[in-house]
Amino acid sequence: MTEFTSGVKTILHNDADVFRVLSDLRKLELVKDKIPEDKLKDFTFDQDSVSFRIDPVGTVSFLVVEREPNKLVKFKSDRLPFDIFLWIQLVSKAEKDTRLRMTVKADLNPFIRGMVEKPMKEAVEKISEVLAQLPYDQV
């Protein structure tokens, strides 16, 4: 498995608010306008899944497979020729100080890994930065 991990991001909201938003994918409506349309297309979601099209890969879907209140949301890819797992980990440091780290693990062959390694690292970092900036107390 190839692993991509974001840096630790500080979120100035409590872990319960952060988890409540990140564990319900319908809340992605908040970030939909921040996603460049040239990167992701046909972005759809419900409480437990998210789907989008990435050219030239095609449609990618993720399903929530585990929720650990205020600590973890784990996703698994669906409809891909290889497995991708995504974890959003949360740690409470204080009442209004939650730390977030995103990890992606993918079962990539060496050829595919060479093509996607740099964009995946950048995507994991960018997504975690966007998640750290959400107005969790207003949702």
The rounded distance, in Å, linking the Cα atoms of 104 and 124 is: 7
In the DSSP assignment, the letter for residue 25 is G
Query: 26 falls in which pLDDT band (50, 70, 90)?
Result: confident
Residue-level pLDDT at 98: 98
> CB 106: neighbour CB atoms within 10 A?
20
Of all helices (H) and strands (E), which one includes residue 98?
Answer: strand 97-106
For domain 2-138, give the CATH number: 3.30.530.20
pTM for this prediction: 0.84
Name the band, by pLDDT with cuts 50, 70 and 90, for residue 3: very high
Q: Where are the domains positioned within the chain?
A: 2-138
Report which of 67, 60, 68 is spatially closest to residue 84, judged by C-alpha positions: 60
